[in-house]
Structure 1
C-alpha cells in the first residue's frame, strides 16, 4: 500500500474531570513537520507524542491538537488562582493611577486570563495516559485514512500510466515509416541541389537528419520509466520522493519527443504525454 499525506482523525473521552478531545490533521509537505497545540497542563506530553508520531509517519505537515473542557461540577472558588488574581488587581490599580480613564477588567475577562482558573484536581499520570491513549487511537485512524486516500491515488496513477502506454503504442509504429519518408524527401532535395556526384555527402546528411528526428530511443526510455513507476507503486511504502524523481524523468523524455518531432501526430502525442505526466505529478505531491 501507498499512503497519502492528507488525512484527519479525532478521538475523545469523557471523564469525571471533564472531556478530552484530540484531533490530528495532516497535509502534504516535503518533510515531516509536527506541530502541537496543547493546553498548558499537557505540555509535558509533547516529547512523548512527537516520538510516537515520528515513529509511524514519514512525511507530511502534522498538526496535533488536544482540548480539555473541565467538568461543570468543579468548584469555581477552588479553581481560582488567588495569587494571580491579587497580582492582576495590583497591576490594574497601577495602570488606573496613571491613566484614570482606563476601563476596569470585567469578571469574564478576569476568568479568561491565562492561568486564572486552576484544575480542581492537579494533572496526574492518569491524565497523561488518557492523552497518549487518545493519540494512539487517532493516529491509527489517521493512518487508515491516509491509506484509503493513498489507494485512490495509486489507482489514478495506474490509470495515467495505462493512457501513456496507449499513446506509446500509437507512436512507436509511426517512427520507421516517418524516418523513411523524410529520408526520401531529403535525398531527392539534396540530389537536386548537389547532383549525383556527391553520394557520400548525401548519405551523411541523411544519416545526421535521421538521428535528429528518431525518437525511438526516447520512447523506449519512457516505456522503461513507466515500468519503474508501476514497480514502485506495487512495492508500496514511503515512495513519494522516488515517484517525484520519476515524474521528472518522464517529463524529460516526453519533452524531448516533442522537440525532435517533425510529425504533427507525434507532436500531439508528446503534448498528451506531458499533460498526463503533469497530472501524475500533482497526485504524487500528496504521496508520503
Structure 2
C-alpha cells in the first residue's frame, strides 16, 4: 500500500529534571530532505535521530523540532565530602578553642552544616548529556511510529482517490476505443471520396501514389496504439498502487506517459466525440498527477 509524504506527530517526555516536546512533520518533496532541530549540547542526538529517520523514510521534506527544559528543583544533589570534612575540622577546632577559654558553645546541628555554601553539589551526571541522549533516542521510535501511521492512513485515502481516477481513465479509454471503431467506416468512405475527387480533377496524377498518400493519412489518424498504451498504463498504475514501499517516482513517470497518449489521441481524433473524450482524459490525468505528487 502506498504512503503519503504528508504527515505529522507530536509528543512529550521527561527524564530526570528534563522535560521536552517534539514535533515531526513532512510535506512532499522530490527526494528525502531531513531538517533536525535539537539543542547543540545534546551531543550525538542529531546523528542518532537522522539515522533512524533515514532508515524509515524514502521521500519528503521532513522537519523534526524539539524544545527541552530543565527543572532545577528536581536536580539530584550529593554531599560535597571534602567541604563537609573541612567544615567538621573547623568546627572541632572552634570547640577546642572555646573549651580552652571556658566558653560553652551551643551544639551544632547537621542542618547548620548542610546549609553552608558549597556543601551540596549537583549529582555527578548532571552535566553529562549522554544518559539523556540515550533516553531520547530510545523514546524517539514512539513519535516516529505515530508519524508513520499518519502517513500510512493518508496513503490509504490517497490510494482510494487514485483508484477511482484510474477507473475513470479506463472507462474513458474504452469509450474512445468504441468511438474509434465507429469512426472507421466513415473515415474509409471519406478517403474513397477524396481519392475519387483527386483523380477526377488532377491530370496525370499517379493513382498508386495518391493511394499511398491517402493510406498514410489513414495511418496517422489511427489511435489504436494510443488506446492500447493507455490500457497498459492503467494496469501498470494499479499494480504500483498495490505495492509496498516508495513508488511515487514511478507513478509520476507513468502520469507523464498517460498525458502523452491523451495528447496524441486528441491530435489524431478528427472527430468531435473522440476529441471530447480525449479532453476528459486529459482532465482526469491532470488530477491524478496532482495526487501522485504526494505519494512517497
Report if TM-score (shorter chain) is over 0.5. Answer: yes
Please say if 1:176 is aligned against 2:181. yes
Q: What does residue 83 of structure 2 align with? A: none
Q: Distance in 2 between matches of 1:122 and 1:173?
A: 77
Moved more, 120-129 or 185-194: 120-129
Q: What does residue 126 of structure 2 align with? A: 121
Q: What does residue 248 of structure 1 align with? A: 256
Gaps of 5+ in 2: 76-124
Would the aligned equivalents of 1:12 and 1:20 in 2 still touch at CA under 8 Å?
yes
Q: What does residue 167 of structure 1 align with? A: 172
Residue 59 of structure 1: CA displacement? 0.9
Residue 201 of structure 1: CA displacement? 4.2
Q: Distance in 2 between matches of 1:134 and 1:67?
A: 15
List per-residue Cα deviations over 1:83-102 (Å, max 9, x = no partner). xxxxxxxxxxxxxxxxxxxx
Q: What does residue 88 of structure 1 align with? A: none
Q: Distance in 1 between matches of 2:2 and 2:260?
A: 25
> After superposition, where does 1:184-263 map in structure 2 within 5 Å?
184-195=189-200, 199-263=207-271
Q: Distance in 2 between matches of 1:227 and 1:13?
A: 47
Q: What does residue 100 of structure 1 align with? A: none
Gaps of 5+ in 1: 76-119
**TM-score for both structures, normalised by structure 2:** 0.77
Find 1:140's aligned residue among 145, 150, 160: 145
Would the aligned equivalents of 2:29 and 2:61 in 1 still touch at CA under 8 Å?
yes
Q: Distance in 1 between matches of 2:23 and 2:198?
A: 77
Would the aligned equivalents of 1:150 and 1:287 in 2 still touch at CA under 8 Å?
yes
**TM-score for both structures, normalised by structure 1:** 0.79
List per-residue Cα deviations over 1:157-176 (Å, max 9, x = no partner). 11000001111121112213
Would the aligned equivalents of 2:176 and 2:277 in 1 still touch at CA under 8 Å?
yes
Equivalent residues, number? 244
The CA RMSD over aligned residues, in Å, is 2.0
Residue 16 of structure 1: CA displacement? 3.9
Bigger Cα Rg: 2
